[in-house]
Amino acid sequence: MDSTAELIAKLRKEIEDHNHRYYVLNEPLISDYEFDIMLSQLEKLEVQHPEFFDPLSPSQRVGSDLSQDFEQREHQISMLSLGNCYSKEEVSDFDQRIRRLTDQNFSYVCELKFDGVAINLSYKNKRLQHAVTRGDGVRGDDVTSNVKTIRSIPLVLSGDDIPDQFEIRGEILLPHEGFNQMNKERLQKGEASFANPRNAASGTLKMQNSSLVAKRPLDCYLYYLAGDSLPENTHLGNMMAASKWGFKVSRHIKEVNTLDELFAFLDHWELAKSDLPYEIDGVVIKVNELDIQDELGYTAKSPRWAIAYKFPADQTETVLESVDFQVGRTGAITPVANLTPVFLAGTTVKRASIHNEDQIRLLDLHYGDVVMIEKGGEIIPKIVGVKQDKRHPLAKPVQFINQCPECESDLNRIEGEAKHFCPNSTNCPPQIKGKIEHFIARKAMNIDGLGQETVELLFDQSLLKDPGDLYCLKREDLIHLPRMGEKSTDKLLESIHKSLEVPFERVLFALGIRFVGETVARKIAKALPNMQNLIESDKESLMEIEEVGERIADSLINHLSDPDNINLINRLADSGLSMESEADEALSSNILKGKSIVVSGVFHLLSRNEIKELIEKNGGRTSGSISKKTAYVVAGDNMGPSKLEKATQLGIAILTESSFLELIEYKNL
């Protein structure tokens, strides 16, 4: 390496060290002027010697003036959301659930719940590779060029014992000081101010021009390390290691061993949150030990080993003017309150969900009532109380409807459910249009050029009665319709044709089967590789699939036993949509074909996830619960005694880690 290369490398290292001290440790060693001189020297050297260009140089944090569209990128490990709770009773319930699911001793880690935008950073050989938003949990937008401008995010890590490859999750946010300064500048320019720091951070992160992002004071705190070769066996240990590598980790993270300690943490930060330089909206509670996290596992949407405790939301008063009853794509009827507009938590609120008939009765709602509203989770407005002392003596009570407001069918209420439903799924306009809008959505069939207004237009023209009609549309049907024209028509037909390439798992999700979201559809498609297998499966077989419980199994059976739904599936198949999963080219063998296997305990040669991957690569499928259809239990150390007892009672073969690897003839150790 010549002297110029050495000088450039030295400057880069020193500048990043000063960045870390200023933006992460809050312990600057040099003045801003001295820092600017050092950065200017580096920039000049890089211009003079382009052969030493590095996209992760600190000089690149200024961003680019070029606009860009964001590409979608998959997360190596899914980014699930957390379940929420709003009271100490719910926290106690969470604790009791954990203790029912494991017999091992454990502690919790409490962390501040930052009110910003979730981000996933991937590193390889100590260098930042990609920064991706949460998206749908499986894939998100690649915003790497924007994230590189955030100076508290290290571009190159320093230290020892850093895994070759890993992901780290965190929250991008705008501190109060930067947010207030941004709004001051916007008002001086005659521009509208941002409603709150979270919205401002989210909008900034999605800007197409990274040089503009660089001018906004975004910050980032990291809170979760994900990967196969982590340095510690506890969440807290991993976060302390990440802090040493250069990541900004909150100093308020704390391990607790009892509910009293946990509640003390909640009480402290509910009062002290206003003293922080940034917004928080609660506390995240996580099981600390990684092996117990592994044992507890996940639901389709969230980890079982973590929960978010949300602080009480801000409330305000307004007036209930009227109530609309909306029909969803599943036929569910939702009452929606029309309110006198009022400002709450950064936005003007005009409408609020009342959820169902029981809620109307519980609140004893009358038209013209002065009501208390808050944002549930500080996002969705809801009515939480009524000022009965301010009620007019002649006010009329709100009555739930008996008939569908769209098609006048008599409503049903399923036993054990809070919602009323319109049963007229084939002729009720909002249900039909809602199913089509769900079918064409980006996460489903991803059909461009067909928004809500166009669906409405084609429905009114009798060109769309169900999703199957999409594949019968012709150019002459569309080209003369309002707002269509040649380009729009050709784009739509091309997108419809391209949707034939969508894999089976997304076709299954697009069908809109109740309770079958993206994650569950993916699990089903993996376990039952074609639609006919799914149609012929009984309830017990369906419940063997990971994440499929009784409610989802019943919904699948009900949907797939309806002749109208089967007819639609057949029409879609005839149109060329994929009704089976592609064969896994990486399948190692069929030695476990058709076998359901439960993995439990702590392992030494491989991680639990690696064992599950081997099961799938050898033709088997994993299940979270033991039943008479379970072929094997792969048992590690500290397997839960209840699972062991049930497996023994049912006579199920219990394999050690070594005997399992021998069974599949694993050669890589």
What's CA 108's distance to the chain center, in Å? 23
The residues, any chain, with a CB within 8 Å of residue 636's CB and separated by 6 or more, are: 599, 600, 601, 602, 603, 604, 608, 657
Rounded Cα distance, 2 and 51, in Å: 12
The residues, any chain, with a CB within 8 Å of residue 217's CB and separated by 6 or more, are: 174, 175, 177, 178, 181, 182
| Residue 6, number of CB atoms within 10 A of its CB | 10
Residue 554, classed as helix, strand or coil, is: helix
Q: Report in angstroms the alpha-carbon separations of 165 from 6, 168, 169, 339.
A: 26, 10, 14, 51
The alpha-carbon radius of gyration of the chain (Å, integer) is 28
Rounded Cα distance, 484 and 470, in Å: 15
φ/ψ bin of 25: left (φ > 0), alpha (ψ from -120 to 50), beta (otherwise): alpha
CATH number of 74-88+103-256+276-297: 3.30.470.30
CATH class of the structural domain 315-413 = mainly beta
Q: Residue 219 class from Cβ within 10 Å (0-12 exposed, 13-18 middle, 19+ buried)?
A: buried
Is the Cβ–Cβ distance between 74 and 139 less than 8 Å? yes
Architecture per CATH, domain 596-663, reads as 3-Layer(aba) Sandwich (3.40)
Q: Which among 220, 218, 257 has a CA at the least distance from the CA of 236?
A: 257
CATH class of the structural domain 429-501 = mainly alpha
- Return the domain boundaries, the chain: 3-62, 74-88+103-256+276-297, 315-413, 429-501, 504-574, 596-663
Is the Cβ–Cβ distance between 599 and 652 less than 8 Å? no
- Quote the CATH superfamily of domain 3-62: Helix hairpin bin (1.10.287.610)
User: Is there a shared CATH topology between the 3-62 domain and the 596-663 domain?
Assistant: no
Query: Long-range contacts of range 258-264, CB-CB < 8 Å, 24 or more positions apart?
Result: 259/91, 259/92, 259/95, 262/91, 262/108, 262/110, 263/88, 263/91
Q: Which among 88, 84, 151 has a CA at the least distance from the CA of 113?
A: 84
Phi, psi of 643 (to 5 degrees): -65, -40
| Residue 86, number of CB atoms within 10 A of its CB | 16
Taking the whole predicted model, whether its pTM rises above 0.85 is answered as no
Is the Cβ–Cβ distance between 21 and 29 less than 8 Å? yes
Q: Is 248 a catalytic residue?
A: no
Residue whose token pair is 């924007």: 146
pLDDT at site 65: 47
Is the Cβ–Cβ distance between 470 and 464 less than 8 Å? yes
The residues, any chain, with a CB within 8 Å of residue 180's CB and separated by 6 or more, are: none
Q: Round to the nearest angstrom and report the end-to-end CA distance of the chain.
A: 39
Is the Cβ–Cβ distance between 369 and 387 less than 8 Å? yes
Q: Which among 428, 443, 589, 592 has a CA at the least distance from the CA of 509?
A: 443
pLDDT at site 159: 87
Q: Which two tokens stand for residue 290?
A: 């990684």
Rounded Cα distance, 622 and 595, in Å: 8
CATH number of 504-574: 1.10.150.20
> Which residue is catalytic, options 10, 13, 113, 387?
113
Q: Which two tokens stand for residue 409?
A: 């069918």
Residue 90, classed as helix, strand or coil, is: helix
Rounded Cα distance, 508 and 502, in Å: 10
Mean pLDDT of successive 10-residue stretches along the chain, which has 669 residues: 78 83 70 72 81 80 57 85 89 94 92 94 95 86 93 92 93 94 87 83 87 92 90 95 96 96 96 92 95 84 91 89 95 95 85 92 96 74 92 96 96 88 94 95 89 91 95 92 88 94 95 91 88 93 86 94 95 96 70 87 81 87 82 84 83 92 80
What ranges in 76-140 are assigned the alpha helix state H?
A: 88-101
